[in-house]
Amino acid sequence: MIMDASRVNDGSRRVRPGLSFEFFPPRQPEGEKLFWNTLETLIPHHPDFVSITCGAGGSRQGGSGELVRQVHERTGLHTVAHLTCVGASRAELTEMLRFYQGCGIPSILALRGDPPRGEPEGAFERGAFRHAEPFVAFIREYFPEFRLGVAAYPEGHPETPDKARDELHFRRKVEAGADFAVTQFFFENEVYFRFVASCREKGVNVPIHPGIMPVTDYKQIKRLSELCGSTLPVWLTSRYEAIRDDPEAMLRTGVEIAVAQCRDLLLRGAPGLHFFTLNQSLAVPRILDALSEEFYAG
Ligand SMILES: Cc1cc2nc3c(=O)[nH]c(=O)nc-3n(C[C@H](O)[C@H](O)[C@H](O)COP(=O)(O)OP(=O)(O)OC[C@H]3O[C@@H](n4cnc5c(N)ncnc54)[C@H](O)[C@@H]3O)c2cc1C
C-alpha cells in the first residue's frame, strides 16, 4: 500500500514511516545495469513504492513507459509512473494512461514538466494542458482508479517568484484530485515544515512527502539546485568546497548530512522519506542503515 496521512508519526503512535525511491530511465546500456543493480540493492529496505521519472510529454515519454512496466512486472513493487503533460495532446496522454492501466500500474505522479528550451510557447500551445492542475482533473475524471501524486515546492517553483501564489497553485492541483504530494529537494527542514503548516492551515490534508537528495557529487548538485530552485545553504557549500575533489569524503559527508536531515524530519512528523536515488546505489542504503533501528525496524 502507498503511504497515507494516517502514518504521520506524531510521537503517540510509533508507526513505520513511509519510504520510496525515485529512479530515472537510463540512456546508455551501462546505465541500465546500474539501474537494476541499484533497484535490487534497495528492495530489501521494503519501499512503499518506487517511482520512475519521464521525459517531455507525449506518447514516448523518454522510454519510461516500458521501464515502468518492467519494474512493476519483475519486482512486484508498487510502481509510480511519472507523467508530464507539457506539449502533449489529450490523445497522447490518454494512450499513455491506457498503457499504464493495461499494465496494472496503480499510481501516477501527474506533472506539467518543462517545455524544451527555446520553445516554451510552442510547447504550451501544442499541449492540451498548461499546468498540472487541469491535467490532474483530467486523469481524475477519465481514469479514477489511479492514485494520483503531484509535485510540491517548499521553496517555491522557480517560475513563480511569488511563493504565496505558487502555494495557491499547489493547493488547487491537490483539490483537483491528488492523493499525495512529493516535494522538490531542500536542505533546511524549516522550509518544509513551514510549507506543510501553511498548506494544512488552508485545508490541504494529503501527505506531503519530503524529497531527499543525498549530496555525493557537489558539482552535480550545484547544477541541479540552480535548475530546481533548491537553495544550497552556506553551511553545506562550505563543507563541500573543502572536499570537492574527494569522492569518498563527499559520499561520507552526503550520508552524514542526509541522516541528520531525515532523523529530524521523521522525529518532527514527516510522513515518510522519498529518496532521489539518481540511480546510484552507494548513499541511500547507508543512510537507511543508519536510520533503520530507530525508524524502520520491524
Ligand atoms: C518530486 C518531483 C518529481 C518530478 N519528476 C519529473 C519527471 O519525471 N519529469 C519531468 O520532466 N519533470 C519532473 N519534475 C519537475 C517538474 O516537471 C517541473 O518542476 C515543472 O517545471 C513543473 O511541473 P509541475 O507539475 O509542478 O507544474 P505546475 O504545478 O503546473 O506548476 C508549474 C508552474 O506553473 C505555475 N502555475 C500552476 N498553475 C497555474 C495557473 N493556473 N496559473 C498560472 N501559473 C500556474 C506554478 O506556480 C509553477 O510555477 C519533478 C518535480 C518534482 C518535485
* pLDDT one-digit tens code per residue, 222-254: 999 999 999 999 999 999 999 999 999 999 999
Amino acid present at 270: A
Closest residue CA from atom 26 of ligand 1: 151
Domains and CATH numbers, the chain: 18-296 (3.20.20.220)
Atom of ligand 1 nearest to the CA of 150: 25
Q: What is the pLDDT of residue 54?
A: 94
Q: Is the CB of 166 under 6 A from ligand 1?
A: yes
Closest residue CA from atom 7 of ligand 1: 53
Q: Is the CB of 155 under 6 A from ligand 1?
A: no
Q: Is the CB of 159 under 6 A from ligand 1?
A: yes
* pLDDT one-digit tens code per residue, 134-185: 999 999 999 999 999 999 999 999 999 899 999 999 999 999 999 999 999 9
Strand bridging mode 147-152 / 107-111: parallel
Q: Is the CB of 149 under 6 A from ligand 1?
A: no
pLDDT at 11 over 50: no
**CA distance linking residue 250 with residue 244, whole number of Å:** 7
pLDDT at 12 over 90: no
- C-alpha 39 to ligand 1 mean position (Å): 26
Q: What is the pLDDT of residue 298?
A: 67
Nearby residues of 48 by Cβ (< 8 Å), 6 or more positions away? 1, 2, 3, 18, 19, 20, 78, 272
Q: Is the CB of 266 under 6 A from ligand 1?
A: no
Q: Average the pLDDT over each of 124-133, 247-256, 276-285 and give the range with the smallest value.
A: 124-133
Amino acid present at 201: E
For 200-228, b/e burial (b = at least 16 CB within 10 A) is eeeebebbbbbbbbbbbbbeebeebbeeb
Atom of ligand 1 nearest to the CA of 113: 17
- C-alpha 132 to ligand 1 mean position (Å): 7
Q: What is the pLDDT of residue 79?
A: 98
Q: Is the CB of 133 under 6 A from ligand 1?
A: yes
**CA distance linking residue 224 with residue 57, whole number of Å:** 21
22 an active-site residue?
A: yes
- Considering the chain, what percentage of its residues have pLDDT values greater than 90? 86
Average pLDDT, the chain: 92
pLDDT at 3 over 50: no
Q: What is the pLDDT of residue 49?
A: 98
Phi, psi (rounded to 5 degrees) for 48: -70, -35
Q: Is the CB of 51 under 6 A from ligand 1?
A: no
pLDDT at 6 over 70: no
| Mean predicted confidence (pLDDT) in 190-218 | 98
Q: How far is CA 94 from CA 135, 152, 197, in A?
A: 11, 24, 35
Q: What is the pLDDT of residue 117?
A: 76
| Mean predicted confidence (pLDDT) in 27-39 | 94
Atom of ligand 1 nearest to the CA of 166: 47
C-alpha cell at 39: 533497484
Place of cell 524530519: 265
CA-wise closest residue to 174 among 152, 195, 192, 201: 152
pLDDT at 122 over 90: no
CB count within 10 Å of CB 247 equals: 13
- C-alpha 127 to ligand 1 mean position (Å): 15
